[in-house]
């Protein structure tokens, strides 16, 4: 077993806490993105079933009428961006979780 001094131990604990906070922020961002994705998916489903050729879009504090096809295109592009962002967050989440596990193992060794 490797013997660490008190300063090294504090550094590992600090890193562990930083990674925990980072993971928490990632999970919140991911959840927000997933909710946006669900909303966009539902909006796209509604636009698919409408018989109208125009629909309203809320922009800031006003509603504007736009062609349904234009709205579908905008929502589709936004959906793609969000899906890429979620994928990126998931990769970062994996890395942070892996590092947390490594630090946890180190901390467990120190406690023994």
Tens digit of pLDDT for each residue in 61-103?
A: 999 999 999 999 999 999 999 999 999 999 999 999 999 999 9
pTM here is: 0.83
- Tell me how far apart the alpha carbons of residues 103 and 13 are, in angstroms, rounded to a whole number: 8
* Model confidence at 29: pLDDT above 80: yes
Return the pLDDT at 16.
94
**Mean pLDDT score, 21-43:** 98
- Tell me how far apart the alpha carbons of residues 75 and 42 are, in angstroms, rounded to a whole number: 10
- Tell me how far apart the alpha carbons of residues 76 and 81 are, in angstroms, rounded to a whole number: 9
How confident is the prediction for the chain on average, in pLDDT?
Answer: 92
**Mean pLDDT score, 107-111:** 80
In contact, 107 and 13? CB cutoff 8 Å: yes
């Amino acid at each position: 077993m490797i013997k660490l001094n008190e300063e090294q131990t504090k550094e590992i604990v600090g890193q562990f806490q930083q990674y925990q906070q980072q993971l928490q922020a990632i999970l919140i961002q991911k959840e927000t993105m997933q909710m946006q994705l669900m909303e966009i998916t539902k909006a796209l489903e509604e636009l698919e079933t409408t018989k109208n050729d125009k629909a309203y879009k809320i922009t800031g504090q006003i509603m504007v009428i736009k062609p349904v096809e234009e709205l579908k295109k905008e929502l589709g592009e936004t959906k793609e961006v969000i899906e890429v962002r979620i994928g990126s967050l998931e990769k970062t989440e994996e890395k942070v979780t892996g590092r947390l596990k490594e630090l946890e193992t180190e901390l467990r060794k120190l406690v023994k």
